[in-house]
Homo-oligomer: A and B are copies of this chain.
Amino acid sequence: MIDTLIKRILELNNPSVVGLDPRLDFIPEFIKQEAYGSYGQTLKGASDAYLRFNKAIIDQIADIVPAVKPQIAMYEQFGYEGIKAYLDTIEYAKSKGLIVIGDIKRSDIASTAEAYSHGHIGRVKVEEHSYCVYKEDFITLNPYLGVDSIEPYMNDCQKYNKGLFILVKTSNPNGGQIQDLSTDGKRIYEVIGSLVSEWGQASIGSYGFSQVGAVVGATYKKQCLELRTLMPHTFFLVPGYGAQGAGAKDIADCFNKNGLGAIVNSSRGIIAAYKKDKYASKYSEKEFHYAARQAAEDMKKDINSVIQ
């Protein structure tokens, strides 16, 4: 799947991913009214508003962006109706040719990890039948429990041609509280970076990158360069661009000298672009999806301006 992702990035000349992390206050009033009209101001109504919103965004970006990254928390909070909207969003995005990175950041012991893995990227058996449930192409994972908590996913990646992005250096302000601690002259994020690199050795594809990728926050510029050097065969999923404060110059070092090696995420910077001054003057609330397309185009240009 990493080869498929890189191929699509090259075809579109666009190493960016749109985070589908809706919030009700990002969603235009007319969409919410349609959804609430059908299901009331309920968890189902809110979930339906998410799905309508996502579909309109997906329709506008599918031909210019290689991938979307739905954040499962935003859906999970609405209970099973929200999970249904998450599943339907993935199904719709894939039907439009988008690659889907499920931002789930799961972590558990092996026997439990197996259930997550089968559900999200493998197949779930019910007696004689087996089901492909969530259908993400990639998922994100938390490494705090060590390699036996990651292996079940690595097995399913091999079996079903999927990919992983493992948290190495996160974009949030206190990410360093544990990740930046020193051990034997190395930071924890470097130790994990080395492990992730090692876990990926057996699955390096035709572009030189492995199925086991890393999450490296754009908000820590110096660490991006360090990790790019430390992990030459590891593809990076880079959050933090846009609303979290990082700009194009901050993410430049996530790419290698061939201009490959990373995909940069923006969520509300794209999906809620119509609320930003820059786009609000040109696009009405009804044109939120056109504003998203324009913001995705602008992001592509911005990122390409700093990579070789």
CB within 8 Å of B: which of A73-128? 73-74, 76-84, 87, 105-110, 112-113, 115-116, 118-120, 124-128
User: Is A14 in the interface zone, CB < 8 Å from B?
Assistant: no
Binds B, one of A164-172, A227-235, A277-285: A164-172
User: Is A179 in the interface zone, CB < 8 Å from B?
Assistant: yes
Given contacts A43-B126, A71-B112, 18 further A-B contacts (CB under 8 A): A21-B112, A24-B125, A77-B115, A80-B84, A82-B119, A105-B107, A109-B171, A109-B172, A144-B144, A145-B178, A146-B174, A146-B177, A147-B177, A178-B191, A181-B188, A181-B191, A183-B183, A183-B188
Contact of A175 among B46, B145, B175 (CB under 8 A): B145
Within the assembled complex, what's the spacing in Å between the Cα atoms of A191 and B183?
A: 12
User: Is A45 in the interface zone, CB < 8 Å from B?
Assistant: yes
Q: Determine whether the beta carbon of A80 is less than 8 Å from that of B77.
A: no
What chain B residues lie within 8 Å of A175 (beta carbons)? 145-146
What is the distance, in angstroms, from A11's C-beta to the closest C-beta of chain B? 30
What is the distance, in angstroms, from A286's C-beta to the closest C-beta of chain B? 20
Within the assembled complex, what's the spacing in Å between the Cα atoms of A90 and B79?
A: 12
Interface string of A34-48 (1 = CB under 8 A from B): 001000011101100
Contacts A144-B167, A183-B183 given; indicate if A42 touches B177 (C-beta within 8 A). Answer: no
What chain B residues lie within 8 Å of A110 (beta carbons)? 172
User: Is A129 in the interface zone, CB < 8 Å from B?
Assistant: yes
Q: Determine whether the beta carbon of A80 is less than 8 Å from that of B80.
A: yes
User: Is A173 in the interface zone, CB < 8 Å from B?
Assistant: yes
What is the distance, in angstroms, from A255's C-beta to the closest C-beta of chain B? 23
Copies held by the complex: 2
What chain B residues lie within 8 Å of A126 (beta carbons)? 24, 41-43, 45-46
What chain B residues lie within 8 Å of A118 (beta carbons)? 77
What chain B residues lie within 8 Å of A120 (beta carbons)? 77
Contact-residue bracket for chain A: 35 or more
Contacts A107-B142, A142-B142, A188-B178 given; indicate if A78 touches B128 (C-beta within 8 A). Answer: no
Return the chain B residue nearest A116 by Cβ. B73
Within the assembled complex, what's the spacing in Å between the Cα atoms of A146 and B177?
A: 5
User: Is A204 in the interface zone, CB < 8 Å from B?
Assistant: no
User: Is A176 in the interface zone, CB < 8 Å from B?
Assistant: yes
| 7 pairs of residues in contact across A and B, judged by CB atoms under 8 Å | A42-B131, A71-B115, A77-B116, A78-B124, A80-B83, A144-B179, A183-B188
Contact of A129 among B42, B116, B144, B171 (CB under 8 A): B42
Interface string of A240-261 (1 = CB under 8 A from B): 0000000000000000000000
